[in-house]
Structure 1
């Protein structure tokens, strides 16, 4: 009897209408692709509705996963979308115009995607001892009901924890999120058979939380997340005039109000020589200070732009043309864009925080409160002639094949895939 794996697709279904994924969405998609392609198992995709598991049509799910990959990655041969063209034109303009804010390609119908998933539902097969339940999206952990029923039937839950930021840094999150995340972590610790974390830093925070809560910790694997193939090939080509890129949701912990304050000061000092900056990411929680800078600061008009939901092909092109990728975050669990920049040979200027010291130690790390240090680094990168610029240091990028090899051994899953699954996730 082949091992049956229940993969929780709840988050993928709810995010399926987005034009581009968040970091957590990327992980969900990569795991879905891996499990769909993995031989030696019987895959049963499931979703949670009102604290109850329901199954999905496996064939429909595999097709949906392939469609999400095509939409989120884009094609390197595909002509740039209008949003990317406008952004590139603004970054290369000799005269400052108005800032582009909220630049966003047309998004597909999110409600239709969710409805299709619900209509493809089917009764959950009888749970068997030895089944494996895989949840990598933090879904269904607000209540212990689902995991309790699984463990009572002998199913082994494998949970991936992305971060404990709502607990360690509640000031960066929505009111009440700290309480909700404590519940999620308690449920995971008490009911998971095994836990995967994306960095040693996240693992240390999880262990500290378990000790404070007096909960025994199940086996934990720290396995860095992989990069998709588009971000694995070096190819830095800095553009003129110079510009910088930040990738990530516009939210408080990303320290973007600090970054924009620096940009205003740079404009006061450098005038017409001030480089452009593009913030690539959706607007998130408590971003009022960031939007106030973007919309109301005359010093930043035409210098700082914001775009959301660009496919990976466009994102990679913009990152490769930047003088540096900037990552001034106050806290991260992994920071995928920072790792992607290092893998492509794009210089990275990042905050000196534990996860950056762990994952991108070769980057230029500066204290996230050192305004003068950040200004000096940005000004130097701007003033250096293109002919004398050097790419970022040599970097061994984490890959999905390596990640899944570790997870397969940890969870006693087969390694062989139907279509060479131990590969980098293809665009």
Structure 2
């Protein structure tokens, strides 16, 4: 089948790498892709969010059978709904499978913190206690914040480019941020509603599933590292590395995740007749021995995808096709037993201001145990150059977490670009 993959980061390179290995994939197109995805298929210049008519035209002319969505924006803006419309879907032919992703309504699980919290409350899914406030209830919220136990978590309701969550350690800071969000539009439209949440103490991990809205299969779990500095210090980033499997997520804990989080979520989708055919990202925190949901995402995470896809031994295209057809009850998945560790190389200055356009050397180091995934790269004058904050993700296998981390770090030491930085402690707390 012919497949169109949407996105341009490290997540999309890992997905393209996995999709291209499937004997079911005839032709893979990536919009817009990057120099790494170009090694797996054909990059195309195509708008992926907003007006989907150009995408429809491309799908018709290139006989696309399946659209796989990487980032969240096309989902929130309704790419699933656009191609689900009868006058479009019925005209694509019998081999058309549709879009891997939720409807725009279901994508509110990621696009609206309040929507997700209300869904969890309805279905008894463990999460931090919370209340939500708007400009109209500002004074009530102010009183609530002032009397809330510390630390306190403030979340912009909508998508805020990963910056809409603030943890406050004193009430003056909390009231200031609360006012900035609601009265001064700190996060624009995303902050028109604010979720005020209990702070949970524990260790975080990410669990992934593919669902057809009724059944599901689990993918390998992962733990990512958000802080820029070693020892988990400094500013939050999009992710500096990830490990899979997660050593502290033993069988007993994962069974709790299955019974208390995943099954109730998928059953909730079915009960509420919410259309959802695709990836579900469960952002969890382990508090003691209990799982709590921090957030849902409606797509794969980044850089977690860079360890999840290498560990998935099953055919990803077959898995996604089954989801699209509503046939996941017939599917089982296999996972590589080895540990995988990805370490992200970033531009100097990230997550603040950084320069682009620096040539990258040493990229040809992929082996049987190590893969180099492109994230923020581009081609200039026939050379690969930096084109983003997170530039590369190097993933390696090992018998232990530390062995896999050693391989990734060794590979990164052979890659060079101006002001390159990467954390050297990813995964080493599990030695």
The structure with the greater share of residues assigned to helix is 1
The structure with the greater share of residues assigned to strand is 2
TM-score of the superposed pair, with normalisation by structure 2: 0.31
More contact order relative to length (CA 8 Å, sep ≥ 6): 1
